[in-house]
Every structure is written in structure tokens, then in C-alpha cells.
Amino acid sequence: MKIICNQKLLANKIGISQKAINGKTTLELLKGILLSAKDGQLKLTGYDLEIGIETYTQAEVIEEGEIVVNARLFGDIIRKLPDSFVEIESDAENNVYINCLNSRFKIKGDSAKEYPRLPEVNEEDLYNIPQDLLKNMIKQTVFAISQDQTKPVLMGELLEIVDGEISLVAIDGYRLAVRSCKIDNIVNNAKVIIPGKTLNDVNSLLSSEEDVKVGFDEKNAIFIINDTKIITRLLEGDFIDYKKLLPREYNSKVKLNTKELLNSIERASLLSQSEKNNLIKLSIRDNVMAITSNTDKGNVYEEVNLELSGEYLDIAFNSRYFLEGLKNIDSEEIFIEFTTNINPCIIRPADEVKYTYLLLPVRISSNI
């Protein structure tokens, strides 16, 4: 193999393919990136047997071929090279020569013959989703994915398509985040569980105004973003029936300014940042929500104006969980619905965005 390509473009593509490299793997070959030169392009592939990423960059292909190079070493070298053109060549002994202006490297590569190939997913029946929409949907839900490895299904998100409406759902046992949106060109229904790591990787690559193409089979999902393809193994198992968790009635409903509430809770949580539960207490009255926190370090009192429909209520929450929900709402105002101080509350934007954040309260003790 022998190619010439732009250093900056190559460094960017290495960074993309490296997202699929698991540094903890014991298989040395899987610590590598597969370089494939053909038809005026260089394809870079990273694969850890769970998620695979293929991405392309333009190159002058002098001699076609394939070689596997250590992802970390190769990436470090390319990123440190001058902003110029890089010549990369491999020989019959799998040595790789990297030349750029006055820099010369020789590193050991591996034969591409043993490198595992990515699963093939049918690319004929793909859904088209605007990149900015999918990015927003992932941002508003992925933070609520469980980190509990004993419940692997909840370490992913449910992607559900029903009658032209697509939903992403994340649950971690303390909160639930659901973002839904109608998509005009979606016809077929679907229900799959996508690993959280994959969604974070996809989210980091979404930027342009073009659509992202998404598809599934029984075991894998595929995302095609411009000149990059991500294939991931789906999580197996039954996702929680999240709709049954959503309260259908409420005893108290309040309307507040999102930014004012966010700022007040951030200030109220300053005293409890080192505490295990980061507790804050909300006291809801006619026109005001009082936010308090009492710890060994001191106490704090905040007030936020509100519109109340229903009963007065005193309820406590983990401030970090509450803040994470608020930070992912772009609406100027929000509604919060409560039933009792031991049942979950529901936070929704006051505009037309279909977003639901369910949060479990913490039982109130006398010292809060």
C-alpha cells in the first residue's frame, strides 16, 4: 500500500475511527485501525466486536492495499506531524513508513487478513432523520442511562418508532427521560435497544444539516453520517414498559421560568455538593417555590415565582438529578406535575417539544 493524503483530514478521521477502539482489549489486533486504500480513498476502520466505525478520506492512492496499525501510536504520530501532505507506505513485512516534510517514521504494522470484518446490515431500508433533531434527542436523554452493569438493558436506550413518531427513552432507576418527534418520511415501526456508548459516539459526529441514515436488523443497528458508518450490536432483552411509569393524574401543577429555577437550584446545591444525596427541599405555596438545603456546612434559602394549580406540597429531590433534567430543556418555561411527596414528578417544556423527564423524590427527614 502507498498513499498520499492531507495531515489534518487524516488526523480527524483517525479520531473518528478510534472511538470504536477498546483500549482494555487483550487482542492486540483490535487495538489497531485497519487502513484500506482503494479507488482514490483511504478507509479507516475501528472495531471492538461490539461497535465498528468506518470512515473515509480522500487520498492519492499510488498502490492499493490494506494494513493494520496501532491506533494510539499511529494517531499520535499523525497528529504531531506538520500541516502538510503525508506519505504512508507499507511493505511485504508489514512495516509502515510515514513521511511528512522532514519527518520520517517506521512502525510495525499487522496483516489485514486476520482483522475481523464488520457485520453487514441492509442499507436499502434506512430511516432518514435530520442530524440536528437526532443530536437534540440524544442530548436530552442519554444522561439518564443506567451505569449499573447488572442491568445491561438499561445501559442502552430504547429507540421506538410507532406510526411515524420516533422516541428515545432512557431509565436508570431514579429518573426517566423520553424525547419524541414526528418524522414525515418514516413508515415502518421499530423497537430496538441501542448501547449508550454508541449513542454518545453518534452524537459527537452529528453536526451538518444533512440527514443521518439509520437502520436495523435483528442484531445490529447502523448509522450513516456523511462519509462515516457506525455499526453497533443491539442490546438483548426486554426494556421496561416506560409508559406504565408515567403518572396519569396530578394533585399539583406548577409553571416556572426554566432559567430562574435552574439558577436557584444550582445555588441551593452548593452546600451539599460533597454530600452523598445532594438533597434539596421544595416547598410549593400559592405563588412561590421555596428551595432549601440544610447541611453541616450551613443552610440556604431560595425563592422562585410560580403559577400553581392544585395543592400545596413539600417534597425533596437529589439536586444533581433535578439539574440534569433542567439543563436539557431549551424551553423558556416548564410545567412540573406532582401527585404526592413520595411519588415521582413529571417535568415538561411549556412549548410544543415532546419531552418528558420523570424524577423520583427523596423521602423528607426533619433536618433537610
What pLDDT digit, counting tens, does each position of 230-266 carry?
Answer: 999 999 999 999 999 999 999 999 999 999 999 999 9
Query: Is the pLDDT at 65 greater than 80, yes or no?
Result: yes
Confidence grade of residue 54 (pLDDT, cut at 50, 70, 90): very high
3-state secondary structure of 24: coil
Count of CA atoms in the C-beta half-sphere (13 A) of 258: 18
pTM for the full predicted model:
0.91
**Per-residue confidence (pLDDT) for residue 134, from 0 to 100:** 95
- What gap in Å lies between CA 348 and CA 356, rounded to an integer? 5
- Average pLDDT over the chain, rounded to whole? 94
Q: Which three cell numbers stand for residue 132?
A: 440536528
Across the range 79-97, mean pLDDT stands at 97
**Per-residue confidence (pLDDT) for residue 157, from 0 to 100:** 98
CA 163-216-178 angle, to 5 degrees, is 50
- What gap in Å lies between CA 285 and CA 277, rounded to an integer? 25
Residues 6+ apart with CB under 8 A from 200: 138, 142
Residue 266 sits at φ, ψ, to 5 deg, of: -60, -45
Query: Is the pLDDT at 192 greater than 80, yes or no?
Result: yes
Count of CA atoms in the C-beta half-sphere (13 A) of 316: 16
Instruction: Provide the residue type at 91 as one letter.
Output: D
**Per-residue confidence (pLDDT) for residue 210, from 0 to 100:** 86
Confidence grade of residue 188 (pLDDT, cut at 50, 70, 90): confident
Residue of 179, 177, 180 whose CA lies nearest to 321: 177
In the numeric block, the cell 418514516 is attached to: 186
| Residues 14-24 pLDDT 10s | 999 999 998 88
What share of the chain in percent tops pLDDT 70?
98
**Per-residue confidence (pLDDT) for residue 272, from 0 to 100:** 74
Q: Which of 10-14, 28-32, 346-350 has the lowest mean pLDDT?
A: 28-32
Query: Is the pLDDT at 368 greater than 70, yes or no?
Result: no
Confidence grade of residue 365 (pLDDT, cut at 50, 70, 90): low
Query: Is the pLDDT at 366 greater than 60, yes or no?
Result: no
Secondary element (H or E) of residue 167? strand 165-171
Confidence grade of residue 25 (pLDDT, cut at 50, 70, 90): confident
Confidence grade of residue 275 (pLDDT, cut at 50, 70, 90): low
What are residue 143's DSSP bridge partners?
none
Residue 191 sits at φ, ψ, to 5 deg, of: -155, 105
What share of the chain in percent tops pLDDT 90?
85
Across the range 49-73, mean pLDDT stands at 97
Q: Which of 24-28, 53-57, 115-119, 281-285 has the lowest mean pLDDT?
A: 24-28
Across the range 8-33, mean pLDDT stands at 94
Confidence grade of residue 297 (pLDDT, cut at 50, 70, 90): confident
- What gap in Å lies between CA 169 and CA 161, rounded to an integer? 11
β-bridge pairing 65-70 and 85-90: unpaired
- What gap in Å lies between CA 198 and CA 221, rounded to an integer? 10
Query: Is the pLDDT at 277 greater than 90, yes or no?
Result: no
- Contact indicator for 200, 155 with CB cutoff of 8 Å: no
Give the other-Cβ count within 10 Å of 1's Cβ: 21
